[in-house]
Chain A
């Protein structure tokens, strides 16, 4: 069966520090991968998605970047964190055509607090 992992589970970082969040998927090949952010009191915001190794699409221009160095690995990064980067970051995977009946399955999330 498929599983999705995220780490770390919780992270407290000072403003201006770098960030690296990792997501890995097991039990499937060539998944579509997604990074979302969920801010307090707000819905899910799609940040990045990837349909294959090295292929990244950005939905919202901001202080973050994403990379997919391996088929089942998705990394969210920042060179310098801002206070507004605080939130709950969720990774998801799906197989099929995104936005065309593809069910997405979510990881456990990483709670990031920037101080």
Chain B
């Protein structure tokens, strides 16, 4: 089955700084999903990528899927306290979604 590895596991950034979170798959990605979760709450869908080289943006968050479709990155520009939370990547795997362990983001004011 597919396994997703996220890096870093956690990071602390100063407000206004840029950051990148990576999601690497053990297999070719056919559908890659990014979610955000605040502690104790449900997951909020951010973006979905399917095509090699695809890039999508939502406000200050940009996600890319590499050409080989085995890695995705999530980039946040000019981070704000509202960006703090846990970012999870998920991938289509047969008849279900599998998820990475998540990246905890803290933004210092």
Contact = CB atoms under 8 A, between A and B. Distances in A.
Interface hub of B43, B50, B99 (most chain A Cβ within 10 A): B43
Question: Interface residues of B: mostly helix, strand, loop or mixed?
Answer: strand
Interface in B79-102: 88, 90, 92-102
Contacts, number: 60
B3 to A, nearest CB: 10
B88 A44 contact: yes
A111 to B, nearest CB: 7
Interface residues of B, number: 25
B42 A99 contact: no
A67 interface: no
Contact of B41 (A92, A97, A109): A109
B76 interface: no
Contacts of A108: 41-42
Interface string A84-115: 00001010100001111111111111010000
Per DSSP, chain A at the interface is loop
B65 interface: no
30 contacts: A6-B42, A43-B88, A43-B99, A43-B100, A43-B101, A44-B90, A44-B99, A46-B96, A46-B97, A98-B96, A98-B97, A99-B31, A99-B93, A99-B94, A99-B95, A101-B48, A101-B50, A101-B92, A102-B92, A103-B33, A103-B45, A103-B48, A104-B45, A104-B90, A106-B35, A106-B42, A106-B44, A108-B42, A109-B40, A109-B41
Given A43-B100, A100-B31, 20 more contacts: A42-B101, A43-B99, A44-B90, A46-B97, A49-B96, A59-B96, A98-B96, A98-B97, A99-B93, A99-B95, A99-B97, A100-B30, A101-B48, A102-B92, A103-B45, A103-B48, A105-B45, A107-B42, A108-B41, A109-B40
Interface of B: 30-31, 33, 35, 40-45, 48, 50, 88, 90, 92-102
